[in-house]
Amino acid sequence: MHIAPIDPRALRRHIVRMAYAGRSAHLGCALSLVEICAVLFGGVMRYDRSDPLASERDLLLLSKGHGVMALYACFRELGWMVDEDVRNYLANGTRLRGVSEADIPGCEVSGGSLGHGLPVAVGMAFGLLRQQSERRVWCIVGDGEMNEGSMWEAMLFASHQRLGNLTVIVDANGFQAMGNTEEVLRLEPLAAKFAAFGFATVECDGHDIPAITAALHGGGDGQGRPRAIIARTVKGHGISFMAADNRWHYTRLTAETLAAALEELR
Amino acid sequence: MRHALSPLLLEAAEQDERFLVLSGDHGYELFDGLRTHYPERFVNVGVAEQSLVGIAAGLCRVGFRPCIYGLAAFVPMRVLEQVKIDLCHGSLPVIMLGDGAGLVYSVLGASHQCGEDIACLRSLPNIAVYSPCDAHEFRACWNEARQASHPSYLRIGKASPDEMHPGPLRGTGPVVVCEAADARARGVVVATGAMVRMGVQCAREHGIRCISVPRLKPAPVELLELLSGVQRIAVLEEHVSSGGLWSLLLEMLQSAGVTGHVSVEPIGLRDAFTQTAGDHQHALSEHGLDDGQIADRLTRWLNARPARMP
């Protein structure tokens, strides 16, 4: 099937409009994974644009559920959501919440509590492999989320069971809620850790579309090793005054900062 | 009761190709039959209870019907939040078996003992909670859980070779396990799980009625009918009374407007960890729940007030 490329600037416009409408935090951690989502939905993942619940779709799980506005932005571009969903984001009684929830078509997992999405993704990949299905599982995790012990439990199992149909994408934006990931709880060398856990691991610039595309398109190693892509990203990327500024993990947009952001994204 | 499990696992594997069992490195010979006949249906995920629940949820979401096994102290207690989010929130039909519930692991102390699982799970939406007392109740609960479209928890307490029921049960509602000539006169013992054995023994001795309650959630509403007109009830459980069957019964009586004239005596675990090593009866004795203490407490309770005149 033909899948049209998705414009990261269009995704970022949806994100800042949603964040403003919903007075939402977690802007920076959505902006860092825009290009990753754009590449996944722009031709890497197998899915049916007319049906987010199509039975033979690949499964994309946003384990770092707080970045969900990036997914919603994709859904808006794909027509799975309408502009009203953007304008009324987080309004009383609306269906979209501030973290990924499994009951929203396209979301697949409830990722608001960190350290849940990857074990579920691993279970799905294990099940699909047993069913000899061609479907693949893609799981976007946060570098801050890698603090959770359940992530490493799931990685052990994925490697042990040779889940070659699983790709873990780390949105390595270098920040977590209260600071720099290296200062809070040292994670590096992250790629070496994934490799040591048995993952076929590559690093790439997480905002460089051709680089991400090459990393995600790279097939398995033929030995059934699960894959890990360490996507080096910048929190708040794409909007100059948010980039690499962790205050946008929790700062709300004002009419002025919204206008300034949209101006940059024209 | 535990002996009933192995053949049921084998039967489930035969009947349903989607069925598989996941364990967090526990269970030993319990799974021998399954592993012999259907080796691919048993998955040991390792000592990793958190991902055990997540992996089961993922398997369920792609069409499997997983059953996860652990010691109750770990599944569900260690992974309560995974149970809440990965299983209950999506209402996934995953069966959890919590073995060794109560004070079964007496010598291993607080880490392996579990007197709070019912209270915790009862507060989560979408899950069914069972506490069977013998193989008949276990089969009834298991069959109901396998048909369910939501998560279920089966609490497996101290194994007893005795069957409390004469034969198979039709459902999981409360059942009279010891009948009395005048069922309402002196008082009724309501018990669940491993404590039904002592409930029946004491009820026979005193000629009073004993009711077993295998399903705790959804609430066993039929219990109100069985207790209609009864003014004195003793609730026997190897679980903290607060949040357990005692609390449940008080809630049900209150909701039904039955208040004031009914006294409900808690005979369950104290709000305390066990302090010393010893066998199961010794651990129970720290809570006033060994066989002799229960018999004494029920006798004192029955003699505390004159029987109600009909």
Query: CATH code at B279?
Result: 3.40.50.920
- Of A103, A116, A127, which has the smallest distance from its Cβ to B54's Cβ? A116
Q: Where a domain ends, among B127, B155, B183?
A: B155
Instruction: Give the per-residue pLDDT at B310.
Output: 45
Q: Looking at the domain assignment, is residue B310 inside a domain?
A: no
Do B221 and B267 have their domain in common? yes
Give, for B176, the enclosing helix (H) or strand (E): strand B175-178
- Of B56, B61, B86, which has the smallest distance from its Cβ to A116's Cβ? B86
Q: Where a domain ends, among B123, B155, B187?
A: B155
Inspect the interface and report whether the beta carbons of B54 and A150 lie closer than 8 Å.
yes
Task: List the domain range (segments joined by +) for residue A252.
Answer: 9-48+55-264
What confidence tens digit (pLDDT) does each residue in A28-42 have?
Answer: 999 999 999 999 999
In the A/B pair of chains, how many CB contacts fall below 8 A?
A: 88
Whether chain B has a CB inside 8 Å of the CB on A77: the answer is no
- Of B45, B63, B86, which has the smallest distance from its Cβ to A120's Cβ? B86
Q: Looking at the domain assignment, is residue A2 inside a domain?
A: no
- Of A103, A123, A149, which has the smallest distance from its Cβ to B50's Cβ? A149
Q: Looking at the domain assignment, is residue B170 inside a domain?
A: no
Q: Looking at the domain assignment, is residue A3 inside a domain?
A: no
Structure tokens at B25: 């490195």
Chain A closest-CA separation from residue B59 CA (Å): 5
| Strand partners for B212 | B175, B191
Probe site for chain A from B19, B52, B55 (most A CB atoms < 10 A): B55
Q: Which residues in chain B come in under a pLDDT of 50?
A: 307, 309-310
Task: List the domain range (segments joined by +) for residue B34.
Answer: 2-155
CATH number at residue A130: 3.40.50.970
Question: DSSP states of B210-231 as a string?
Answer: EEE--EEES--THHHHHTTT--
Q: Which of A239, A179, A242 is nearest to A9 (CA)?
A: A239
Partners of B86 on chain A (C-beta within 8 Å) are: 110, 116, 119-120
Do B122 and B186 have their domain in common? no
Q: Looking at the domain assignment, is residue B45 inside a domain?
A: yes
Q: Looking at the domain assignment, is residue B9 inside a domain?
A: yes
Do B8 and B151 have their domain in common? yes
What confidence tens digit (pLDDT) does each residue in A159-215 have?
Answer: 999 999 999 999 999 999 889 999 999 999 999 999 999 999 999 999 999 999 999
Residue A24 is which amino acid? S
ipTM at complex level = 0.95
A249 or B132, which is more confident: B132
Probe site for chain B from A101, A114, A135, A153 (most B CB atoms < 10 A): A153
Q: Looking at the domain assignment, is residue B67 inside a domain?
A: yes
CATH number at residue B124: 3.40.50.970
Do B115 and B221 have their domain in common? no
Residue A116 is which amino acid? H
Instruction: Give the per-residue pLDDT at A237.
Output: 95
Do B129 and B48 have their domain in common? yes
Q: Where a domain ends, among B94, B120, B155?
A: B155
What confidence tens digit (pLDDT) does each residue in A90-107 have?
Answer: 999 999 999 999 999 999
* Residues of chain B in Cβ contact (below 8 Å) with chain A: 40, 45-46, 48, 50-51, 53-64, 81-82, 85-86, 89-90
Do B134 and B211 have their domain in common? no
Do B231 and B131 have their domain in common? no
User: What are all long-range contacts of B9-14, with beta carbons under 8 Å and residues at least 24 apart?
Assistant: B9/B33, B9/B34, B9/B67, B10/B34, B10/B37, B10/B38, B12/B67, B12/B146, B13/B37, B13/B38, B13/B41
Q: Looking at the domain assignment, is residue B243 inside a domain?
A: yes
- Of A128, A131, A153, which has the smallest distance from its Cβ to B51's Cβ? A153
Chain B closest-CA separation from residue A123 CA (Å): 4
Whether chain B has a CB inside 8 Å of the CB on A124: the answer is yes
Q: Looking at the domain assignment, is residue B249 inside a domain?
A: yes
8 A C-beta contact, residue B127 and residue B150: yes
Do B181 and B151 have their domain in common? no
Q: How many domains does chain B contain in total? A: 2
The pLDDT confidence band at residue A148, using thresholds 50, 70 and 90, is very high
Residue B292: count of CB within 10 angstroms of its CB: 9
Do B214 and B131 have their domain in common? no
Q: Residue A60 CA to chain centroid, in angstroms?
A: 8
Instruction: Give the per-residue pLDDT at B308.
Output: 52
Q: What are phi and psi of A137, to 5 degrees?
A: -120, 130
8 A C-beta contact, residue B276 and residue B109: no
Partners of B58 on chain A (C-beta within 8 Å) are: 119-127
Chain A closest-CA separation from residue B18 CA (Å): 10
- Of B59, B81, B86, which has the smallest distance from its Cβ to A127's Cβ? B59
What confidence tens digit (pLDDT) does each residue in A209-223 have?
Answer: 999 999 998 766 778
Q: How far apart are CA A129 and CA A144, in angstroms?
A: 29
8 A C-beta contact, residue A83 and residue A13: no
Q: What ranges make up the beta strands (E) of A100-153?
A: 137-142
Instruction: Give the per-residue pLDDT at B273.
Output: 96
Q: Which of B55, B74, B94 is nearest to A109 (CA)?
A: B55
Partners of B62 on chain A (C-beta within 8 Å) are: 59, 123-124, 127-128, 131, 133
Do B240 and B126 have their domain in common? no
For chain A, give me the number of helices (H) and strands (E)?
11, 7
Do B42 and B12 have their domain in common? yes
Instruction: Give the per-residue pLDDT at A223.
Output: 84
Partners of B48 on chain A (C-beta within 8 Å) are: 153, 156-157
Q: How many domains does chain A contain in total? A: 1
Do B151 and B24 have their domain in common? yes
Q: What ranges make up the beta strands (E) of chain A?
A: 59-62, 137-142, 166-172, 175-176, 179-180, 200-205, 227-232
Q: Looking at the domain assignment, is residue B81 inside a domain?
A: yes
Q: Flag whether pLDDT at A254 surpasses 80.
A: yes
First to last CA, chain A: 30
Q: Residue A197 CA to chain centroid, in angstroms?
A: 21
Chain A closest-CA separation from residue B62 CA (Å): 6
8 A C-beta contact, residue A41 and residue A33: no
Whether chain B has a CB inside 8 Å of the CB on A156: the answer is yes
Q: What are phi and psi of A38, to 5 degrees?
A: -60, -40
